[in-house]
Amino acid sequence: MNFNCQKEDLLFAAQIIGKAISARNTMPILAGILMIAEEGQLTMRATDLDVAMQCAIPADVAEPGKLVIADGKRFIDLVRQLPESNVNISLINDYDVNINYGISSVNLRGFESEQFPQLPDLQGEMSGTMKGEVFARVVRQTAIAAAGDDIQPILTGIMLDIDGKNINFVATDFHRLTLSRTVWQTAGGQQLKAIVPAKTMLEVANLAAVEEEVAISLSRSNISFQLGSTLIVSRLISGQFPDYRPIIPAEEKLVHQVYVDRNEFNGALKRASLLSKDVNNTVRLDLQPEGILLTANTSDIGNIREVVPAKVTGEELLVGYNLKYILDFLRVSSSEHIYMKLSGNLTPGTMTEEDNESFLYIILPLRLVN
């Protein structure tokens, strides 16, 4: 195997697939990077067995073949430090790799390429495409409610609830729930539900934001995303996702409604976060005719009392929230104004964007202690 490519292209692919290399792998081969040189193209792949990432770049291939660089992370660090020039990579013997740049070179240890895990069968039961910017937006909106630990693995994922051309992206950690509705281009009209790790979805979203289209294929145990020259394949999370539909409050019960400027509300909550240091990051929202009276305090730090102008309908209501949860919604919202709708101070309320009915955020209030 022997090929030449540009350092810029090599680094581009290495940084993408390097995210699939886990430092906790018990199999040494999983710390490596597989390289496949074919006519006019180099394909690089890494996997931790849960997710595989593959990226193809242009290459001048003198001798086709495969090789595995044993220490993938170290290789990526090395590529970052290479001068901007042509890079030649070849096998020295059956396993070891020579990286030549100008009149200098580095030798790295390798593995036999046949030991590297194969990609799963990518022939899916359902497939379709979505605009890259749409995919990126709905994933980022939904992922804020996914759990951050593995105590209940299904809660670390985003559930895709597919009904023909309509997809609901759903995530919950039982304190809040996000639902983002969108459509995709698909030939089939089947129904299917799949739970995809939120971490993987966010990695895809970062790449999708600059791609025109994302091609998605689903099978019983895997999902794949094709974004230009990059392929990402992930295992699905097995288990029963909570039934989210009964959690959505009935619109007629949401008798307390707030219409508020997102930036003003966001600024006030960020200031309150400096003074709310209890275990729940508690902020009190007193809904009054003139707006939201926002208060927070920590006995050994201080307190804040701020009125945020807002249009409030319904009777006055005092409600408490984990302010981090509200800030998460405001962070992924692009709307100038947002709505909060509540039925009471102990029942789930909703947050929505002014101009986007397809994005719903449901949040549980805290029980306040005087």
358: phi > 0 → left, psi -120 to 50 → alpha, else beta; which?
alpha
Burial group, residue 102, by CB count within 10 angstroms (0-12, 13-18, 19+):
exposed
Q: pLDDT (tens digit, 9 = 90+) per residue, 252-275?
A: 999 999 999 999 999 999 999 999
> What integer pLDDT is reported at residue 93 of this predicted model?
86
> What integer pLDDT is reported at residue 189 of this predicted model?
79
C-alpha 263/C-alpha 331 separation (Å) is 10
Band (pLDDT 50/70/90 cuts) for residue 94 is confident
**What are the DSSP calls for 145-196, one per residue?**
TS-SSSSSGGGGEEEEEEETTEEEEEEE-SSEEEEEEEE-B-S---EEEEEE
Question: What is the share, in percent, of the chain residues with pLDDT greater than 70?
Answer: 100
Band (pLDDT 50/70/90 cuts) for residue 125 is confident
**Domains in the chain: ranges and CATH:** 2-115 (3.10.150.10), 127-245 (3.10.150.10), 249-363 (3.10.150.10)
> What integer pLDDT is reported at residue 302 of this predicted model?
92
The alpha-carbon radius of gyration of the chain (Å, integer) is: 25
Question: How far is C-alpha 304 from the chain's CA centre?
Answer: 34
C-alpha 292/C-alpha 318 separation (Å) is 10
Band (pLDDT 50/70/90 cuts) for residue 123 is confident
- A 10 A CB-CB count for 55 gives 24
Asked if pLDDT for residue 351 goes beyond 90, the answer is yes
C-alpha 301/C-alpha 79 separation (Å) is 48
Q: pLDDT (tens digit, 9 = 90+) per residue, 29-43?
A: 999 999 999 999 999
> What integer pLDDT is reported at residue 124 of this predicted model?
75
Q: pLDDT (tens digit, 9 = 90+) per residue, 132-163?
A: 999 999 999 999 999 988 779 999 999 999 99
- From residue 211, alpha-carbon distances to 36, 63, 77, 333 in Å are 24, 32, 26, 21
> What integer pLDDT is reported at residue 4 of this predicted model?
97
Q: pLDDT (tens digit, 9 = 90+) per residue, 194-247?
A: 999 999 999 999 999 999 999 999 998 999 999 999 999 999 999 999 999 999
Asked if pLDDT for residue 110 goes beyond 90, the answer is yes
Asked if pLDDT for residue 25 goes beyond 80, the answer is no
> What integer pLDDT is reported at residue 23 of this predicted model?
76
